[in-house]
Amino acid sequence: MEFKFDPELNTLARLVRERGCELFVVGGHVRNTLLGFRISDTDITSALTPDEMTGLCEKAGFKVVPKGADFGMVEIHIGDKSYEHTTFRADSYGEGGSHRPQSVAFSKTPEEDAFRRDFTVNALYASVLTGELIDPTGGLGDIEKRLIRTTTPDPETILKDDGLRIMRLCRFAAELGFDIEEKTFAAAKKCAPLLADISAERVRDELKKILMADAKYGLPAQESVLRGLELMDEVGALDVILPELARCRGVGQSPKYHKYPVLEHIFQTVSMSEPELTLRLACLLHDAGKPAALEKNGNMHGHDVISEDISREVFRRLRFDNDTAEEAAWLVRRHMFDLDGRAKEPTLKKRFAEWGEARVNALAAIREADFRGSVGERITVKTAERWRRVLGEMKAKRTPFSENELNCTGRDIMEWLSLPPSPRIGEIKRALFMHCAVRPQDNTYEKLRETSRDMK
């Protein structure tokens, strides 16, 4: 197997050799080269300590950014490229799954370093200068078998040391389309409660990756995203990080519309949606309120409102940024809009003018995913198609999509109707906006003036 490394990396490797050490590429770069998958970043490693590496780079004129020097990591910038260098380590961890090593001991060889990494396929080392491959844990064999397995023979020690590795396990299986080795899977089940000790940010970032697993290497969503979510459920990770969803497990629903119980339907919906994070988060939580609605009302009416509350709480807890949280929660709240496709066209137009193009398209996308996720097939969804047609017509007719796009101002309205400043002016402006949503040809100064007369 030919490894291709940047010339910049060769320069660095020669400098490392002058210090009597060898520079290796490790992790995703090696794994993905062997698999023929896209390479997203290059992680490098050697016996040089962060201080030694920093000294060496500064002398050579490379910029170094410390990145958790406690863990032996520094980011090295050469030209427009950057590499994460980690010193060989042999960690020892305390109790709990919080990934706080009690002591970080630097070590001298990849053979030692490999056993503090998580999975064998991630613990392959390629020498930058010679291209030689070092495989202390049997990663090559596992790549051939398409298997994720922990580096140590006792998987519990690895998974206990950092609870996040349970999510990483599901994520790599999902992204790569690999199976999980039996003992590794059993240990993950046992260790899943340790995920409770992991910071919200780390959990959030892994969850994002699982939701977007198909986008990583182009596997079909059913084989990646759906599998990742199912694995999280089977392993017990869902109960810890998203108990709201775990509650949907086994909740049945009308076979008239649904092939799946609630949780399976949710997973199907996510994997039927386009690979866009906000949309997938909305799909993930759109029916989370069903168990609570059922308990409260004896049926699932109003679950959209409860789901919105739940999704906001989840986004807050997992520290999602405000924009993503707001857009996804908005979609969750509206996902039942015009469910039967019987909304009158003027009603659609008024709503769409208010919501704007992006939200209408997102709503059409979640509707499609929801219906497809109910039957498990990529069926045509009439409501979504109708909405897109109506939206297209509105755009073609230059319909205003906000009050600011009206061809008159509040001042004009006051003048036309001889009214003093008051909230009434705002109401009239809104009425004109709604009028033009349906009759965009009236969005001219003259027509607006005429129309406003009846509104005094």
> Cα–Cα distance between 39 and 135 in angstroms, integer?
19
The residues, ordered by sequence, that sit 6+ positions from 195 with a Cβ below 8 Å of its Cβ are: 97, 163, 164, 166, 167, 203, 237, 240, 241
Interaction of residue 28 with Mg ion, rule CB under 5 A: yes
Segment contacting Mg ion by CB under 5 A, of 21-29, 90-98, 179-187, 415-423: 21-29
Least separation in angstroms between residue 114's CB and ligand ATP is 8
Q: How far is CA 1 from the centre of its chain?
A: 33
Interaction of residue 206 with Mg ion, rule CB under 5 A: no
- Count interface residues toward ligand ATP (CB under 6 A): 12
Q: Judged by CB, which is closer to Mg ion: 43, or 156?
A: 43
Interaction of residue 41 with Mg ion, rule CB under 5 A: yes
Interaction of residue 117 with ligand ATP, rule CB under 6 A: yes
Q: Which of residues 268-287 bind Mg ion (CB under 5 A)?
A: none
Interaction of residue 27 with Mg ion, rule CB under 5 A: yes
Interaction of residue 43 with ligand ATP, rule CB under 6 A: yes
Least separation in angstroms between residue 235's CB and ligand ATP is 16
165, 227, 286, 333: which one contacts ligand ATP (CB under 6 A)?
165
How many alpha carbons lie under 13 Å from residue 375 in its C-beta half-sphere?
Answer: 11
165 binds, among ligand ATP, Mg ion, none (CB under 5 to 8 A by kind): ligand ATP
304 binds, among ligand ATP, Mg ion, none (CB under 5 to 8 A by kind): none
> Cα–Cα distance between 154 and 242 in angstroms, integer?
28
33, 54, 122, 150: which one contacts ligand ATP (CB under 6 A)?
122
The residues, ordered by sequence, that sit 6+ positions from 254 with a Cβ below 8 Å of its Cβ are: none
Give the helix/strand (H/E) hosting 336: none
Give the closest residue to 275 by CA, choosing from 212, 317, 368, 225.
212
Q: Judged by CB, which is closer to ligand ATP: 181, or 368?
A: 181
Q: Judged by CB, which is closer to ligand ATP: 77, or 439?
A: 77
135, 162, 287, 308: which one contacts ligand ATP (CB under 6 A)?
162
- DSSP result, 195-210: GGGS-HHHHHHHHHHH
Q: Which amino acid is at 384?
A: A
> Cα–Cα distance between 374 and 365 in angstroms, integer?
14
Give the closest residue to 323 by CA, choosing from 290, 281, 352, 286.
281
Assign 41 to helix, strand or coil: coil
Which residues bind to Mg ion, rule: CB under 5 A? 27-28, 41, 43
Which residues bind to ligand ATP, rule: CB under 6 A? 27-28, 40-41, 43, 117-118, 122-123, 162, 164-165
